[in-house]
A and B are shown apart, each in its own frame.
Chain A
Amino acid sequence: MADRTSSSAYWAANVRVILISLAVWFFCSFGLGIILRPALKGIMVGGADLGFWFAQNGSIYVFLVLIGVYAWKMNKLDKEFGVEE
């Protein structure tokens, strides 16, 4: 397919990956860690409530996985579109 190699299709795919990743980034930190904490008070992670745990530890783990998945996905996209170095 011709458009598979075009740089605008590559950019559109890149932006989609970024938007999905940012949604996860926002949900775990601002969502679970701050806004939803009062609503989720009843759910415990060990000795801490879910929101507290996400704010102090959980969201950092999610960030790590997120960057890992993003880097892997982008490397795959680079190859697919033939734009890798």
Chain B
Amino acid sequence: MDQFTLNLIVVGITFAIYIGIAIWARAGTTAEFYAAGQGVPPVLNGMATGADWMSAASFISMAGIIALAPAGGYEQSAFLMGWTGGYVLLALLLAPYLRKFGKFTVPEFIGDRFYSGGARLVAVICLIIISVTYVIGQMRGVGVTFSRFLEVSTDTGLYIGAAIVFAYAVLGGMKGITYTQVAQYVVLIIAYTIPAIFISLSLTGSFLPQLGLIGGYAPSGGDVAMLTKLDQVVTELGFKAYTSESANMFNMFLFTMSLMIGTAGLPHVIIRFFTVPKVADARSSAGWSLVFIALLYTVAPAVGSMARLNLTTTFWPGAVTGSAFSAPALSIADIESKPELSWINTWKTTGLLAYEDKNGDGLIQYFNEPAALVAANKALADATKALTDAAEGADKAPLEAAVATATTAVDAALAEAQLGGQSMAAQGLRGNELTKIDNDMMVLANPEIAALPAWVVALVAAGALAAALSTAAGLLLAISSAISHDLIKGSINPNISEKGELLAARVAMSFAIVVATYLGLNPPGFAAQVVALAFGLAAATIFPVLMMGIFSKRINKEGAIVGMLVGLVFTSLYIFAYKGMFFVPGTNWLPDTPANYIFGISPLSIGTIGAVLNFASAYIVSMATKAPPAHVVELIESIRVPKGAGAATAH
């Protein structure tokens, strides 16, 4: 059986399971549609939250981001700590109290606690911006996975994915989504850990990837630590050491904090804790969620470091036992003839990997170009482009002179640049020849790089789809409930019947899927940055207002509204200043490089500062205005005590 048929069968079986669950778990009431009738056991809710949380970014991208980061893998630990530490905040500061409140949506809590339709509306706007930006990435993930493994176009893949989500999310609501996510969790965790275990065994001899990460490097006898070996190999090739310290500790601190409080403030994660029967279950469910999430997140750094080492030793076979330069680099003849290296050309066709034999020696030399060489090469490319673009009959002499000057500069840079103790010019090198290696390739290609059986490859395809689909469904539910429950029932038509609201929820969900599919087909060209926006905004708007709503009796509606708006505007503006107004390229006011960041704070880390400003402005405004009324103080006192939670009420 060939790989394609196998992929089709494995993915087909998982999809059949998802649809089957959807038919079994149809939602009959709004309580089931919004919160699965508050009947989900904490362990299952933990699994569902795990699948809901672990998106295409966690499954496909994260290990690759850690593996290939130019600043080294350590700096990227912010993702590992941030995306897990947020659950501590959820369990301690939000989940139990919001469950006690016992309603269906995050804006509903904000509206009731701050006795204001305006506050609820601002929360709905924040929620929709956060969730829509987040869902685009998931739809792209579905499309990319389909196109790589099932030989359909990215667009067709997107339509298939949207149809599947439509079937179980619109039919089943939160109930269908929850039980489907349980199945999706099982698929994705198996798909992630099996290749990791195989790779850990071959590189470190350790069955557990978590122990492999700190274990010895097996191919050279195991007396050198895997991480030490990795540091040695990459620094030899001119890269920054994998474990090197953060260049900007302050920014890493803020980035980690931003991801943590952003995680705790993501509406689609928070509403998962509305589905459990009791307050105590909300606490334990957060713990179970983290157990299931940690299974992937503790494996990810092992996958990242080992994939990097595997990749590097593939291109420099000598690095396995000694110095990278103790044997010639990988030859094109080997890439084309050896079956275990066929993945290189397979991935080359997807565009996620590219190589170019710049000096024509038949070998692919992979190394890091020093900054001076990169700049010289860019100047040469620009000068050459200017020459070829020059109009017919124009005076080409000055342009030709510019190219000649730039060529001399490149030669000088090559004579200056060192690799393996010799200048690059002396070795006949023209530049790094592994010209592209995409973060997203690392996890998806791992089973092929490690020469694992075909069924493992098929499983990884199903796992990547499960990760993207489960997160998309959770986000779509958060969007649809904000529209049908907060906008329609909450302000436009409060007298809508139960049946009418259920229908409205389904229509809103269908609409959200159409919008998400459209944005997935026509990504605004900023898929990577929007996730930063989603976390930054969740950190700067939703998290502070929820926390103040629970822990302070004094913060009033004026304070909450001002706080949210300050967080929203400040964070968006700081991100737009570097990434462009609404991410339109070229409209940024400041260059997007660390040298230009205010106090070195990157736009990814700004959510923390936005949150601080939200807290501060809410406090100042509340102190200057009237205290909340007595019935709100009673509400706060009641959510602080678990007793008397019972079932959620529609109103």
Contacts and interface: CB of A to CB of B under 8 A. Distances in A.
Contacts of A25: 85, 88-89
B141 interface: no
Contacts of B77: 33, 52, 55-56
Contact of A49 (B243, B286, B644): B243
> Helix, strand, loop or mixed for chain A's interface?
helix
B103 interface: no
Among B211, B227, B645: residue with most chain A CB under 10 A: B227
Interface of A: 7, 10-11, 14-15, 18, 21-22, 25, 29-30, 33-35, 37-38, 45-49, 52-53, 55-57, 59-61, 63-64, 66-68, 70-71, 74-75, 78, 82-85
Interface stretch (B213-221, B562-570, B620-628): B213-221
Contacts, number: 137
**Interface size class for chain B?**
35 or more
B642 A30 contact: no
B216 A64 contact: no
B290 to A, nearest CB: 6
4 tightest Cβ-Cβ pairs between the two chains A and B: A47-B225, A46-B214, A55-B77, A67-B287
Contacts of A85: 278-280, 642-645
Nearest to B244: A52
Interface in B228-264: 228, 243, 245-246, 249, 252-253, 256-257
A44 B249 CA distance: 21
B87 A63 contact: yes
B287 A68 contact: yes
Interface stretch (B14-22, B293-301, B432-440): B293-301
B348 to A, nearest CB: 31
Contact of A60 (B81, B96, B551, B641): B81
B246 A34 contact: yes
Contact of B85 (A38, A45, A59): A59
Contact of A57 (B210, B252, B641): B210
Contacts of B257: 30
B577 interface: no
A4 B290 CA distance: 32
Nearest to B210: A57
Given A63-B290, A75-B280, A70 B92 contact: yes
A57 B228 CA distance: 17
Nearest to B91: A67
A56 B213 contact: yes
Interface string B636-651: 0100111111000000
